[in-house]
């Protein structure tokens, strides 16, 4: 399942003036990148990539922020993987120079949903499920990005992020569920995308996870706050 269906991609630079409250935070305009996209249900939204320059423990940091914004209704979700030093960002820029007209598609499989005014972006690797989520709304993009400039750590990947959740399924399913039998006596590392589907059922979230071997499957139920409620193995795995 594709997480989002991309419309013809457009490379745009922001046209509005920055109004970040802190003089120590701003965005690098030459790093702005936006694509228009559509969810499976026909909902139009924007995919953004920006670089925030701010301070952390008295030192400048460069934070690569990715975000979704739905025009008109204003739902917004942003996340990042932490900040880079000035040298680290320069090295990253040199190794991965921006490409005009490039897609905003992420390099891994994930499922993006917008339900009841809340973004939920699911991905999985083996027995680890990650979720970026947010129910904030902003009247304008400018207000959304001003919020990020002051609260970028809320969307930082890892358990410290306010809008980030991580679920580990190894205690319920065991490590063998996520490792092929052919590698039972092989010490080489093995990783794969284990997420099949994700959907909202009433106030809860329901995920389908695949094991490393067919036909192993499991159903994962999360509550409205993305806390684990239940993990059920498919009968075929018993």
Query: Using one digit for the tens of pLDDT, what is the confidence trace for 19-47?
Result: 333 458 999 999 999 999 999 999 999 99
Least-confidence region, from 91-100, 148-157, 204-213: 91-100
Structure tokens at 154: 């809320």
Residue ranges of E strands in the chain: 5-6, 26-27, 33-38, 44-56, 59-69, 75-84, 111-115, 118-125, 128-134, 136-137, 164-168, 195-201, 204-210, 217-222, 228-233
**Max intra-chain CA distance, the chain:** 59
pLDDT of residue 1: 32
pLDDT of residue 23: 52
CA separation for the pair 4, 47 (Å, rounded):
10
Token pair 């997420």 is found at 195
Hey, what CATH class is 167-237 in?
A: alpha beta
pLDDT of residue 18: 37
Query: Using one digit for the tens of pLDDT, what is the confidence trace for 120-164?
Result: 999 999 999 999 999 999 999 999 999 999 999 999 987 668 999
pLDDT at 8 over 70: no
pLDDT at 68 over 80: yes
pLDDT at 192 over 80: yes
pLDDT of residue 236: 63
pLDDT of residue 24: 81
pLDDT of residue 193: 98
Break the chain into its structural domains and give their ranges: 5-166, 167-237
CA separation for the pair 18, 51 (Å, rounded):
13
CA distances from 215 to 122, 209, 222, 235, 236 (A): 22, 11, 23, 10, 7
The pTM score is 0.85
pLDDT of residue 159: 63
């Amino acid at each position: 399942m594709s997480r989002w269906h991309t419309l013809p991609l457009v490379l745009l630079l922001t046209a509005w003036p920055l109004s970040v409250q802190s003089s120590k935070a701003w965005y690098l305009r030459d790093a702005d990148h936006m694509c228009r996209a559509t969810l499976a249900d026909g909902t139009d939204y924007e995919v953004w990539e920006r670089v925030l320059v701010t301070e952390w423990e008295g030192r400048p940091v460069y934070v690569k922020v990715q975000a979704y914004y739905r025009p008109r209704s204003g739902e917004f979700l942003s996340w990042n993987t932490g900040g880079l030093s000035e040298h680290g960002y320069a090295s990253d820029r040199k190794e991965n120079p921006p490409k005009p007209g490039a897609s905003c598609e992420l390099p891994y499989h994930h499922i993006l949903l917008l339900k009841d005014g809340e973004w939920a972006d699911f991905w999985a690797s083996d027995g680890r499920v990650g979720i970026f989520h947010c129910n904030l709304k902003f009247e304008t993009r400018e207000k959304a990005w001003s919020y990020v400039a002051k609260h970028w750590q809320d969307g930082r990947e890892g358990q410290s992020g306010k809008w980030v959740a991580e679920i580990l399924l190894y205690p319920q399913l065991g490590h063998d569920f996520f490792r092929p039998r052919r590698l039972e006596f092989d010490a080489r590392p093995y990783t794969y995308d284990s997420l099949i589907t994700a959907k909202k059922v009433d106030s809860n979230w329901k995920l389908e996870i695949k094991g490393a071997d067919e036909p192993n499957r499991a159903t994962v139920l999360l509550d409205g706050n993305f806390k684990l409620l239940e993990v059920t193995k498919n009968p075929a795995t018993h």
